[in-house]
Structure 1
Amino acid sequence: MKRLKGILLTLLLLLPMISVFGLATQADAQGDTVDLVLHKRIIRDINKDEVTYENNGLELDEDFDIVTGPTPLNGAEFTVYDISDYFYAEKADQSLEALMKEYGNRTAAKELIKSGKIQEIATVSTGAEDNPRGTARVPVSRKKDGRYALYLIFENEVVNDTVEFNIDLERIANPIIVALPIMNPTNQTEELDEIHIYPKNIGYLRDPYFFKYGKENAESPEIGVPLEGAIFVLYQMVGNQKLYLDLSPVSDLQNSWIPSDDPLNNPDVSKFTSDKDGVVTTGGRLLPSGEFFFEEVQSVEGYQIEKTDIPVVVPDSWEDENGNPLYVTVNGQQMDELESGEVPASAYQKAEPRVYNYETLTDPATPQQPDEPTPPKKPFLPVTGEAKSFISLIGVLLLGIGLVIWHRRKAAIKSNSEDK
């Protein structure tokens, strides 16, 4: 999946348009109805590149790989409308290609539906009743008043509340026009009685990343160094409970979340480790819109975890209503979009979004030896045997000086007496 990461997948419905006139003789041999089989599959929206394929009305193999392989989605609601009368009365001078272009966007199709000029045939949901996962079947008449029928397929909404990815219906669930007959591509003289239709479905998800750096402390002016080997888990809050991203396959768009009291040592919780550049990614595990948290569960030697929980905010679309880009933020910092599924060069140049750990007071990798005790400074008159001797010597000298002075004074007094 690594090589596939980063490619946005788009399904373009390209039904072959055959003239609706002049085929009555061959059609008489066919049945009165045709089954429209709708396949709702979500493709991981990693970037804006488009990959197209030709849908010819036949069913694709279950394991077909449109780069990453799609995920069937239950609960997508479609309404099928008969637009035959409207077409023959007001649009017969147009080509079918022009008709599809005119009503291939949701705004125009909604206006046509509101006009009351077309007839609702059925509303169905994928995965309902006996339909296989992600599919819905609608039987329709092959002809209307002796002429081949035309149908509009309009996706209303996704009604399954358990899905954990977003679908931008206004931008990606384009209406589909089916003009009968659809011929078998392997035998152009045979009409298809079962027409498989794959609407253009893109799952809106994002792939957050950030840079893990270390430096001495928060006041240090330098940018720091990338930290390799820091371990993170990802969680979201559901009510008051932390639920961690589990080890579901990367290709599964519907992420699973589990509780855990020890996510670091829980083998069912996904772990994300910073690489040599300090980059932490989800490794292809894409996220829908909402708020999530990277939780650092193990730092690298010599650095302490400064911030355990790192908030990740995924907006609900690529752009706002004015066409301005909406960015993912990590730790409150804007994240440059991935390029072809990879962290862009601009992000490496800035090392942003960036989250720091600071150095510990001691490095566990090289424990310091206890300092040698510093000998206490000797006081001016240390109380030792040497000090006592020193004091005795001073006393003797003082005594000698005193005797000398005394003798001199005595001699001076005697001399004065004799002079008198």
Structure 2
Amino acid sequence: MKGKMKKGSWLGLFSLILCFVGFMVSNGAEAAEETTKVMIHRIAFSGESASDVSFNNNGQAIKEEDLMGGRPLEGATFCVYDVSARFYELTEAGTAPQEAQKKISEEADQAVEKNEISQYKKVAEDKTGKDGIVTFELATYHSGTTGKVYLFMETGVPDHVPYKSSNIVVGLPYADIGSDNILHLYPKNQLQIRRPFFYKYGRESTNPAEDKKLAGAEFRVSKEMNGKTYYLHKDMYNNNNAWVEDENDAGILTVISDQNGLVELGDYILPAGIYYFEETKAPAGYEITNESRRVQVEIPANFNQPITVTVGSTTSSMNESKVINIKTPNIPPEEPNEPNEPGEPGQPGVPDGPSPRLPSTAGGTTTPASTRKLPQTGTQQAIGLALLGVLILVTVAGILIKRYQTKGEK
């Protein structure tokens, strides 16, 4: 019938539409859900002494006989953070990929110390099992064909383990993924090396609540060994810290508080031990206190314990630390004495304040300044001139009178 489609034609068209929709949905779901399985193997060593042991993270599983005596560690907590945005921010600014990975790892460690790790985008968290393994299934792509970058951080270890493993920053898709289509990672056992910090404040009043964070304070770092003091040098030796005994060495590292009052070591990392920060220069307008000349920082041997900062008799965590500079007193300059008012003609001026007196000799007397008079030489001269003038006038008048009389007699 005209205007009507045959039943078979409708069924064919409907089937074609279903196939097309199914194809599109299937492809979209595959693209949206493409993931990579990552397996973390946490290997521990007796006493965690083999901290220099590291495995080749080539994405492949390592045979048990090749673990160099290590054993699987159960109960280690790992968190996974999506750091893609930060990684591409650094690389687009010219940072090499490996340097960007290192920087992200260091920034994350500092964020943990400052209780700021919550600002990172956590996408997964889990603990290792009896086999020392924890597995994550993570999105592969960040945007289009640009891969995700993840930070794997061990955030907790069993009580009997003093050290945590080092961070791993990995970019996906991983080229050398294992033959089982799983990315195998082996974190390195890390010595307890941390970055201590504290905060510098300026105090202008007796109210501690009014203290403000202070920039520009300069410190140097020292440690004591065998009764001697050694200072942290700015030049590293074989990628390790260098220490010098000469306190006048021009290469001693100077650490300066930033605009937030933060005093930290930057690229320098310290192992467990006790260190001293000595303030050597205060910001303009402030004075160095005795307490700020010897700020004690203690890094415990156990990663689970916090770093402490001792200022004077007060010990606190790094986030709560306060090293004070006192505002230099603002002493106004002495005002000059007012100039003496001119005295009456013929009288000397009288100086401000009490007149100085010499001690009187035994049996003698002193004459008060108000009774002493100087000779009035100016007045005597004026009188003499006046008398002379009168005498001249009288003489002239006498001469004129005599001439007048002489003319009258003629």
Q: What TM bracket, shorter-length normalisation? A: 0.3 to 0.5
Greater RCO, CA 8 A, separation 6+? 1
Higher helix content, 1 or 2? 2
What TM-score do the two structures reach when normalised by structure 1? Answer: 0.40
What TM-score do the two structures reach when normalised by structure 2? Answer: 0.41
Give the greater-gyration-radius structure (CA). Answer: 2
